Amino acid sequence: PTPVVIDCDPGVDDAVALLLALASPDLDVRGVTTVAGNVSLTDVNRNAAHVLDLAGAPADLPLVSGLAGPIARTSRIRDEPMHGAGGLGGLVPDSPPRPLTPGHAVDWLAERALESPGELTLVAIGPLSNVAAMLARHPEAGPALREIVVMGGAAFAQGNVTPAAEFNFHADPEAARYVLESGLPVRIVGLDVTRAALYPLTEAEYLATLPGTAGIAGDLLRAYAQRYLDRFGVPAVPVHDALAVAAVSHPDLVGWEEGTASVECSGELTRGALVADLRTPDRTRHVRVGRTVDADAFSALLTEGIARHAHP
């Protein structure tokens, strides 16, 4: 299995992504780090701990808290309209969830990278604040990663916060720019592909009938899909972050194009926009951008992965 660490801001699709990763025989989840994004860091930490409990993850699986906001400017971006109260549609644990692991995500991520040079894949499914701060504070750590797989941006599609910008990049554009310009191997799973791989409401309804954590995840997905239906009139929903995880376990799900990429940080109308340059063959082409996706294969994989949590 591919060793991964997951930097996240749960968030419904983050929660589903974590459950998918923890159930995957193709992934070895070595730890989870958190960053403010969909909700505050406090809420994100509680949600991540709750999801690890629901997944029955080992008690010693590291869960390390990270940055409470973007690296440069302040931003008050939250997305409770889509993710529901508290970030998980009102789902709160009956008892206090597992404690956090001591330490800071920015240092912990670097330590894990340096521990096994060339092996670790960092899956970043929230704002890139922790990842950028880690690369800046520990310059030797980035090159020790195998790759960084990012959910963020919309290179060819419209954004979801503004016409130009997707949520994770809009929440911390300076961080996203730093990561994309780092020269490290980065794969981008943006709205270009996540919106082309909608998960049917009917699949969520099926999962909701299952026992245990699979049924809880099904309820979450069903409510998430219902909010999407109410807003956009489509009975299927992008489960953005889960596609990023699936792109690590099943890289052929997505069709990739190589190039370079950056993020607009100063544009009045375009702050947070992903700008991918897939034209020039003579530059260091270290970024791969997802352009196409096998939507049916992704839905099947997601249903199968979440259904593995169907224990009473």
Active site annotation includes 240? yes
Is residue 223 within 8 A of residue 230, CB to CB? The reply is: no
Q: Which does 172 bind (CB under 5 to 8 A by kind): ligand BDR, Ca ion, none?
A: none
Q: Does 192 bind ligand BDR (CB under 6 A)?
A: no
Q: Residue 272 CA to chain centroid, in angstroms?
A: 17
241 vs 260 by CB, closer to Ca ion: 241
Q: Give the separation between CA 128 and CA 14, rounded to whole angstroms.
A: 14
Question: How many Cα atoms are found within 13 Å in the side-chain-facing hemisphere of 100?
Answer: 18
Residue 245: name the closest of 187, 173, 307 by CA. Answer: 187
Q: Does 167 bind ligand BDR (CB under 6 A)?
A: yes
- Candidates 6, 7, 11, 22; binder of Ca ion (CB under 5 A) is 11
151 vs 248 by CB, closer to ligand BDR: 151
Piece of the chain touching Ca ion by CB under 5 A; list 153-161, 204-212, 216-224, 239-247: 239-247
Q: Give the separation between CA 243 and CA 274, rounded to whole angstroms.
A: 18
Piece of the chain touching ligand BDR by CB under 6 A; list 7-15, 27-35, 107-115, 279-287: 7-15
Q: Does 43 bind ligand BDR (CB under 6 A)?
A: no
List Cβ neighbours of 244 (8 Å cut-off, separation of 6 or more).
17, 123, 124, 125, 149, 150, 151, 189
Site string for Ca ion, 86-125 (x = CB under 5 A): ---------------------------------------x
- Candidates 43, 48, 63, 79; binder of ligand BDR (CB under 6 A) is 79
Q: Give the separation between CA 97 and CA 247, rounded to whole angstroms.
A: 29
Q: Name the site residues for Ca ion (rule: CB under 5 A).
A: 9, 11, 14, 125-126, 241
